[in-house]
Amino acid sequence: MTTTTATDDAPPKKAGGKAKKIIIFGVGGLVLIGGGVGAGVYATGYGMVGVAKHEDPRRPKLVLRSSSAPEAAESGHGEDKATPRRVGTVSVEKEGKPIDPHKYEIAYYPIEQSFTANLADGSGFAQLGISMGTYYDSRVGDNLQRQMVPIRSAILMVLSDQQSSVLATPEGKQMLQRQLTKSINQVLRDKEGFGGIDNVYFTNLVVQ
């Protein structure tokens, strides 16, 4: 008579079960790592993760206002003045945002020669003298000097498009200021890649 035990009838254990689990876990880890790398690339590509940006050394910077007496205005025409060059220390990502005049120092660049143009309505002519203000460093002045020919052309085009009845009002003069500022900045952006003019100020305005 042959005696059998329970162990003889038990099904054989699968030797590869543990190995399969290890392989599955290993593949799952690779998927997670790969997914993490892909997500990082996706986030970087869409600006979700900060990436160090190259800063153009020619780009003007804002000049912090000092507690000492303000410096004399620069001429912007390359003349040998005692005024030292303005050094900016504050970079801006996007030009055109409002600037705090209590925090930053402004400089004025006058255009020595005045402008004369016939008005659009044919009623007479206007003579204009201006100075340009900027909170940025001396590189804006350098740009103004290099691009003075197209800047003068742009100013004359804006001036010749005015009407005497409009220029006779304070609102008309303020509108002319805005138009000139926009036009000068556009020339600087097209030619130098940066505007930087905060406002245009009249040093002379005669309408006849």
Alpha-carbon span 39 to 41, nearest angstrom: 5
Q: In the Cβ-directed half-sphere of 18, how many Cα atoms lie within 13 Å?
A: 2
- The verdict on pTM exceeding 0.75 is no
**What per-residue confidence (pLDDT) applies to 77?**
47
Burial (CB count within 10 angstroms: exposed 0-12, middle 13-18, buried 19+), residue 151: buried
Report the alpha-carbon distance of residue 99 to residue 5 in Å, rounded.
92
Determine contact, residues 115/152, Cβ cutoff 8 Å.
Answer: yes
Q: Which of 18-22, 23-27, 103-107, 202-206 has the lowest mean pLDDT?
A: 23-27
**Interatomic CA distance for residues 102 and 132, integer angstroms:** 18
Instruction: Flag the least confident range among 22-26, 56-60, 122-126.
Output: 22-26
Angle at 149 between CA 74 and CA 98, to 5 degrees: 55
Say whether pLDDT at 151 is over 80.
yes
**pLDDT average, residue stretch 64-88:** 63
DSSP secondary structure letters along 140-158: HHHHHHHTHHHHHHHHHHH
pLDDT in tens, 34-62: 555 444 444 444 444 444 466 677 799 99
CB 65 within 8 A of CB 58: no
**What is the average pLDDT across 155-172?**
95
Which one, of 137, 130, 9, lies nearest residue 64 by Cα?
Answer: 137
